[in-house]
Structure 1
Amino acid sequence: MKIQCTVCVVNRSLPNVPTNLRKKPCKSTLAICRNPKNEEYCLMLFSGQSKTGTKYSLKTNIRQILTRFVNEGKCTVQFINPEHDLCIQGDIISVKGFLHLLKRVLEGKVSHKELTVSSMSVTPVKSKDIAPTKLVITKRSEYPLKGFPRALESLYINDIQRCALDKGILQLYKLRVLNLSNNLIEYLPEELNKLSNLRELNVSRNQLGKASPRQWQWLDGSLWKTLNLLDLSHNDLNFIPEQLAKLYNLTTLHLSHNNLKVLPVGIGNLRNLKIFSASNNSLSILPGSIKKLKLQTIDISSNNFAQSMPNGAGIYPKVLPVCTLKEYSAKKVLWARIPYSKGSLPTTLVDYLDYAKYCVCGKACFSIYLRQSHNLLLSSISELVSRSVEDGIFVPIDCYFCSLKCLSLASYNRHRNPVIR
């Protein structure tokens, strides 16, 4: 039996070797074989660093086998002589099958017919045998009929008129980049949020505008802590779900060339956001929470922003009523950025949390709040601003206030600072 995997060889006899001088993990072939002459079993390691192969005896030579992370496709085999640790990482099923056979070999439960191949019959790893980590598909004829390699880290499926996401992609747990631009995809499955390593998702130039609100549940799950780039441009979108504000680690967000009239109220929660574009939409006002952002680039050109908006200056309502216990609890969950889903909390509470309003101070508010429109100088939140010449230098923002204190502070700052008016 042989498997393709990534192996890092650690020499325990050299514990003081600096980390930067140690051998790095490399694509390898691991094989368990039996010598037909003396009928002893051994493990062979072939890699680009050792094309002739390294032989490790198995009989009374295993110090320990570490399988704590076997469900992630990782394990470590420690040998007595030489003092080597083989840190193995590969496909979960392959690694588990390899460990199962290794256990049977050590227990003497393997028949001679199962492993009759000598060490010479195991061929060294070749480039064509190494599972690819990147796959680019630009023609229908290039689409894999037997499924995708499990080791894929980058997958590009572009301009082949795909109407739906292949379920095989949902099994690529190592995937970091997924580019599905220029297709006919109308919605993404909820299971997409289980790709815990996904960093970039590009679904531009598709038909996500046809998706119902329930078909945006893929925004939940593990994506809130991993996704850095999201491109939803050119999708004829009429709305963006409020759940978008849960993607706290987004650094790049593209919403250009859609039919958006409003943006999610909690967009200011994306505090790591650096590049934001929402040009060529129908926006007339931005959420007040956008004041919390510190961007490098913002592009909101070709929208319908008014030149000035009533700001309600000098209007101070009566003291707000006391919030309910449910609202106080929900505020605490969102302020602490505690992850939640329909599986962890009652559905009614999840829906309540998803549609929160956000004060300019960053705190959530639900049924108890104040609301006013202000004007914001975009250069105060972004180093580079792209806008049409006729749009002017200010943009109206719809502000929510969780208390009279926040409203008073905002009014005071407006009079002292021309950035907000």
Structure 2
Amino acid sequence: MKIACNICVVNRSLPNLAHLKKKHVKSTLALCRHPKNKEYCLMLFSGHNKNGTKYPVNQNIKHVLTKFIHEGKCTIQIKNPEHDLYIQGDAIQIKGFLHLFKRALEGKISDKELTCSSMAVTPIKAKDIAQTKLIISRRSEYPIKGFPRTLEVLYVNNIDRCALDKGILQLFKLRVLNLSGNLIEYLPNEINKLACLKELNVSRNCLGKASLSRWSWIGGELCKSLVLLDLSRNELGFVPDQIAKLHSLTTLHLNDNHLTTLPTSIGSLRHLKVFSAAYNRLTILPGSVKMLRLQSIDLSNNRFEQNVPNGAGIFPRPLPACSLKEYAGKKVLWARIPFPPGSIPTTLIDFLDHAKYCVCGKACFGVFVRHSHNLLLSTISEMVSTSADETVYVPIDCHFCSLKCFSSAFHKRSRYPIVR
């Protein structure tokens, strides 16, 4: 029996840090038996070792570590030579291989089950290795029999697909999904069950035609996994407040849409580093952007107002006390407690999804102070991109959850000049 997998070979006799430079390489691992003496051995092939390495099995296995077998990972420790084989691959194939390997160690394999000689073993051909990446740029390339379940990277570009294939929703190993250049109007809710998905590119589609209810796919497993989201060139008239649920997001592109405002929750994306919303119709930004600490921001070619009053001398009346419902909502959003559909009443989900966010990062609902002033973009981003005739100041619409936050914001802003 032989399987295709990725293997890192580490010599235990070398210094402990030596294995850090090692990488997993595509390999073929085979279990075979000599036709005469009936002794078992492991044969390991790779691109750098086409002749193969033979490891005797009888009385030569130190440990077989299977703690992460459900993730397709295991380790076989050899006594002589002192090698550790770190194996990664398809969980089902590895489980089947280890089951047969265990029976070989116990001497319970019959002659009919394993008759292969180590001299006859050859590496698995490249065409027979499970496919992990697929690029489709023509309709004729679209798979008729469905997608390989082993796919980790999938590109389906410029073929005018009108909807997402249901087969893609079964690719639970998918890490990168690029659907740019199609005619997709909405994404199905089931896409948020892809727990490994890190990058989602749906630029140059028609998501702007979808109603707000069609954005309920934002959430689920994507809250923890998704780090890149590209919604550029979709004729979007709005971005839903639910985008704040994507807690791990580091890159967000909203370029070339019809946006006049951004969701007030955008500042709660604590890990966001790259943000672009160029070529839109933005006139003002939500005050929560003051919480962002970006590496780069691109807001060029928008319609920002340049004459926003600074509100000097203005101090609002004392705020009323929040209701218990608001206090509870603030705690839930601050702790980032998930609330998937069905866990709480729909009215409460809508209540939480449409929260406003103070510059301190806390949510506010019906009790807040609202005020606008100018923001120097270099205070939230290391690199700022604007048009040639635009300044690096933009107006922001702030919601303050308390008078303390309101007065603190004006105190800090007094250190920066106000553009009129």
**Fold equivalence (TM over 0.5):** yes
Query: What's the RMSD between the two structures over aligned residues?
Result: 3.0
* Aligned residue number for residue 240 of structure 2: 241
Structure 1 residue 27: Cα displacement: 0.8
Q: Judging changes above 3 Å, is the alpha-carbon distance between structure 1 residues 96 and 348 closer, same or farther for their aligned structure 2 residues?
A: farther
Work out the CA distance in 2 between the residues paired with 1:357 and 1:142.
46
Q: 1:8 to 1:343 in 2, by over 3 A?
A: farther
- Indicate whether 1:143 and 2:112 are aligned: no
Quickly say closer, same or farther: Cα 1:49–1:397, change in 2 above 3 A. Answer: same
Q: Which residue identity is paired with 1:42?
A: C
- Residue 83 of structure 1 deviates from its aligned partner by 3.5
Taking the TM superposition and a 5 Å limit, the aligned residue runs for 1:105-184 are 105-184=104-183
Q: Secondary structure at the match of 1:156?
A: strand
Corresponding position of 2:328: 329
* SS of equivalent residue, structure 1 residue 218: coil
Separation of aligned partners in 1, 2:205 and 2:240: 17
Deviation of 1:389 after TM superposition, in Å, equals: 5.5
Matched, 1:36 2:55: no
Report the CA distance shift for 1:316/1:194 in structure 2 as closer, same or farther (over 3 A): same
Contact 1:135/1:152 (CA < 8 Å) preserved in 2? yes
Native 8 Å contact 2:310 2:418 kept in 1: no
CA contact (8 A) 1:91 1:150 kept: no
Letter in 1 for 2:205: N
Code of the residue aligned with 1:252 in structure 2: it is T
TM-score (ref. length: structure 2): 0.87
Which residue in 1 is equivalent to 2:356? 357
Task: Specify the code of the residue in structure 1 equivalent to 2:297.
Answer: I
- 2:203 is aligned to 204
Is 1:7 paired with 2:10?
no
Contact 1:374–1:420 (CA under 8 A) maintained in structure 2: no
1:193 partner amino acid: N
Runs of 5+ in structure 2 lacking a partner?
none
Q: Deviation of residue 277 (structure 1)?
A: 1.9
Identity rate, percent: 66
TM-fit CA distance, 1:19: 2.7
Summarize the alignment of residues 189-268 of structure 1 with structure 2, pairs less than 5 Å apart. 189-268=188-267
Structure 1 residue 138, shift from structure 2 partner: 1.2
CA distance in 2, matches of 1:187, 1:270: 23
Q: Structure 2 vs 1, CA of residues 111 and 189 (structure 1 numbering), >3 Å: closer, same or farther? A: farther
The answer on whether the counterparts of 2:368 and 2:400 sit within 8 Å (CA) in structure 1 is yes
CA distance in structure 2 between the partners assigned to 1:370 and 1:286 by the alignment: 16
Q: Are 2:80 and 1:69 equivalent residues in the alignment? A: no
Give the match for residue 92 of structure 1: 91
Hey, what's the Cα distance between the residues in 2 that align with 1:57 and 1:345?
A: 58
- Any idea what SS the aligned residue of 1:326 has? helix
| Deviation (angstroms), 1:338 | 4.4
SS in 2 for 1:184: coil
Cα gap change, 1:325/1:125 in structure 2, threshold over 3 Å: closer, same or farther?
same
Q: Which amino acid aligns with 1:366?
A: F
Please report how far the alpha carbon of residue 352 of structure 1 lies from its aligned counterpart in structure 2 after TM superposition. 3.2
Distance in 2 (CA, whole Å) between partners of 1:54 and 1:372 is: 71
SS in 1 for 2:55: strand
Report how far residue 339 of structure 1 moved. Answer: 4.8
The Cα offsets for residues 122-159 of structure 1, whole Å up to 9 and x where unpaired, read as 21244444445443221122233444445544332211
2:199·2:229 contact (CA, 8 Å) conserved in 1?
Answer: yes
Q: Which moved more, 1:80-89 or 1:255-264?
A: 80-89
Between 1:337-346 and 1:231-240, the stretch displaced more is 337-346
Change (3 A) 1:383 1:10: closer
